[in-house]
């Protein structure tokens, strides 16, 4: 079977070992290789982990320098040589349900497979779906754009490689979600087969590690996700605008706004980041921001009420 796994990694030896071990243990069908793209040139501990396994099935690639999360994620387009590739995080582990819930779909020709990992999306039970028209693709985008974390996606690499990398993929670098931009570019392109698939079974267990992205989560929300929306194909712009409005409503919740204020107080660069984000927003969001800043002294009271009443 023309299938592979792609795992970008940085300084996570224990979880990487668990991830690789889970593939050999639970993927009972054939696969060509497990590709490890190591972003830690100064201390390539992943190389030692790879050495503990059968190298006939593992392709280890060490970047000459830390190229950042997006560039490392996008290396699947360069390194994968199979039709389908499962993009796994270095803290994602397969389980006993993984193979049986997925392998039948690999016999079909789809652009990508969304792995919901134990959740469900209305109107999209397990199966293959037509996205050959703008309306069907747009509805799928509205339902899934925020439900595809890295690790929950299998990509048709043969088709994705037909995209113009510089034009269609590079623009997503710096969004922390470049990999998901690629699948919507593919679905909107002439290279699309007009279908994608959905699997709801819980087929991934997450290894307990420190989430290094949490400290930069405000920056991701204020700067990187908006840039991701701006980069999406024009053919689904009317749908992505709807999704972006939903994202803004969530981003401008009272709790989020207080977090932005605290974030802005940490440094001048943080403050500038928040201000630039607010300046780009429609008037209604600017007014909400002004209102919250006027009443910011009540924030300590808000925290106490939230902690006692809602936790």
Residue 297 pLDDT grade (very low, low, confident, very high; cuts 50, 70, 90): low
For 126-155, letters b (16+ CB in 10 Å) and e give eeebebeeeeebbbbbebbbebbbbbbbbb
Q: What is the mean pLDDT of residues 80-104?
A: 94
**CA-closest candidate to residue 63, choices 3, 5, 11:** 11
CATH number of 3-206: 3.90.550.10
Please tell me whether the overall predicted TM-score, pTM, comes out greater than 0.85 for this model: yes
DSSP letter at 116 equals -
Structure tokens at 234: 């024009």
DSSP E strand stretches across the chain: 3-9, 33-38, 58-62, 84-87, 92-94, 112-115, 127-130, 153-156, 195-199, 204-206
Burial class of 104 by CB neighbour count within 10 A (0 to 12, 13 to 18, 19+):
exposed
What length does the chain have? 311
- The larger pLDDT score, comparing residue 127 to residue 209, is at 127
Q: What is the mean pLDDT of residues 208-225?
A: 74
Residue 38: CB atoms within 10 Å: 25
d(CA 251, CA 161): 34
pLDDT digits (tens, 9 = 90+) for 19-41: 999 999 999 888 999 999 999 99
pLDDT at residue 244 in the model: 96
Half-sphere exposure of 285 (CA within 13 A, CB side): 19
- The larger pLDDT score, comparing residue 296 to residue 195, is at 195
Q: Provide the mean pLDDT of the chain.
A: 91
Look at the alpha carbons of 231, 152, 11, 212 in this order and tell me if their dihedral is positive or negative. positive
Look at the alpha carbons of 221, 223, 228, 229 in this order and tell me if their dihedral is positive or negative. positive
pLDDT at residue 46 in the model: 94
Per-domain residue ranges of the chain: 3-206, 214-309
pLDDT at residue 88 in the model: 96
Q: Are 9 and 36 in contact (CB under 8 A)?
A: yes
The angle at the Cα of 91, spanning 66 to 108, to the nearest 5 degrees, equals 100
């Amino acid at each position: 079977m023309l299938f592979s796994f792609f795992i970008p990694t940085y300084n996570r030896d224990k979880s990487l070992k668990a991830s690789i071990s889970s593939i050999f243990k639970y993927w009972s069908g054939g696969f060509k290789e497990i590709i490890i793209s190591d972003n830690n040139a100064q201390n390539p501990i992943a190389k030692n982990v790879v050495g503990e396994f059968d190298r006939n099935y593992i392709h280890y690639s060490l970047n000459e320098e830390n190229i950042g999360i997006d560039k490392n994620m996008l290396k699947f387009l360069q390194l994968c040589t199979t039709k389908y590739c499962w993009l796994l995080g270095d803290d994602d582990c397969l389980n006993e349900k993984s193979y049986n819930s997925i392998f039948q779909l690999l016999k079909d020709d789809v652009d990508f497979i969304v792995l919901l990992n134990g959740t469900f999306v209305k109107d999209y039970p397990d199966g293959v779906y037509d996205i050959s028209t703008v309306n069907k693709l747009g509805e799928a985008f509205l339902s899934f754009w925020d439900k595809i974390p890295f690790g929950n996606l299998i990509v048709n690499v043969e088709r994705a490689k037909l995209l113009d990398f510089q034009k269609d993929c590079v623009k997503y670098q710096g969004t922390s979600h470049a990999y998901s931009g690629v699948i919507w570019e593919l679905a909107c392109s002439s290279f699309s087969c007009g279908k994608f698939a959905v699997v709801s079974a819980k087929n991934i267990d997450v290894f307990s590690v420190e989430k290094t992205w949490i400290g930069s989560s405000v920056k991701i929300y204020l700067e990187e996700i908006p840039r991701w929306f701006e980069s999406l194909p024009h053919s689904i712009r009317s749908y992505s605008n709807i999704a972006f409005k939903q994202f803004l409503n969530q981003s401008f919740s009272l709790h989020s706004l207080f977090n932005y204020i605290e974030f802005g107080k940490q440094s001048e660069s943080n403050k500038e980041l928040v201000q630039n984000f607010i300046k780009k927003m429609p008037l209604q969001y600017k007014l909400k921001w002004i209102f919250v800043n006027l009443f910011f002294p009540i924030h300590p009271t808000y925290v106490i009420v939230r902690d006692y009443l809602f936790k």
